[in-house]
Amino acid sequence: MIKVEKASFGNAIRQKITDIGILMKFKLSLTVVFSAVMAFLIALKTPVNGWELAILFLGGFFVTGAANALNQVLEKDYDRLMKRTENRPLSAGRMNSSEAVLIAGLSALIGISFLALFNPISAFLGMISLISYSFVYTPMKRVSNVAVPIGAIPGALPMVIGCTAAENGTLSILALTLFGLQFFWQFPHFWAIAWLGDEDYKNAGFKLLPSKDGEKDENVGFQSFIYALFLIPMSWVSFAFGITGIISAVILTTIAMIYAYYGWRLFKECTREAARKLMFFSFFYLPVMLFALYFDKM
């Protein structure tokens, strides 16, 4: 009997830990933190300090996790309507909203406190990212596809936070360049995901994909193509200011052109396969861009 109770208790603890990870979107949060850490390393002009990296990692992770948790609190009723989100802890009833808000609040407090150890600007930007994602982008998703450019702002702020943490709160050319690169990158990336999940999103009333009379707008691919082209001039800014070398500029230009090509393919074909290829290349673009800038910095 005691063994059964211990096993049951252990299973409950494991499930709770798993649910907290889902609530904070553990893998997505790691991806966001990766961009902030890489921006920090690109901007850093002194030897790398392991403690600073750890503080930035934890600060970024907890702020992002808090935003993701609040997002699920606000969307729990809509998550039940989508297959990909119906088993989240709130929508499935394994966790209540007050518990999730408590986790989000503690995470936000911890994350902002860690970022404040660098400078007030980094902490302020972390708070802006959290608020704009949770309380502007999240409700806007059911109102208009304007939510996409709104969401691209907090989506690109981790780059700026990484730079300001390395540069004593300065909003440098590099910080603005990295913001621009990730800002424009998000449009083809997100529209490809929205194209693939369009039916699920519509079931929940989300208006993320441009549409005509309730149908997918074939110009989504063309818009993805245009936004990817914006990445080409952005690829040369840090080189023009002597921050990085020509090798990274050429690499960034090349992958931006390939990114634009996949956007054009979606425009011409309007198929799930074309959207899937665009989405997968978007996953490839971001780390290649960041590593190229890091290894080629002056």
| CATH number of the domain residue 81 falls in | 1.10.357.140
Structure tokens at 81: 């309507």
212 beta partners? 215
Could you say which of 116, 150, 169 is where a domain stops?
A: 169
Domain match, 74 and 186 both: no
State the pLDDT at residue 227: 97
The strand ranges marked E within the chain are 211-212, 215-216
Q: Amino acid letter at 83?
A: K
- Tokens 């800014």 appear where? 237
Taken in order 204, 207, 211, 217, the sign of the CA dihedral is negative
Structure tokens at 36: 């902030």
Dump pLDDT digits (tens) for 136-180: 999 998 888 899 999 999 999 999 999 999 999 999 999 999 999
Residue 93: partners with Cβ closer than 8 Å, 6 or more residues away: none
User: Domain containing 56: what range?
Assistant: 1-169
Phi, psi (degrees; rounded to nearest 5) at 250: -70, -40
* Angstrom distances, CA of residue 238 to CA of 24, 145, 294: 33, 31, 11
Domain match, 214 and 196 both: yes
Number of domains in the chain: 2
Read off the DSSP letter of residue 297: B
* For residue 135, pLDDT beyond 70: yes
Domain match, 128 and 43 both: yes
What is the largest distance, in Å, between two alpha-carbon atoms of the chain?
A: 71
Dump pLDDT digits (tens) for 58-116: 999 999 999 999 999 999 988 888 888 889 999 988 999 999 999 999 999 999 999 99
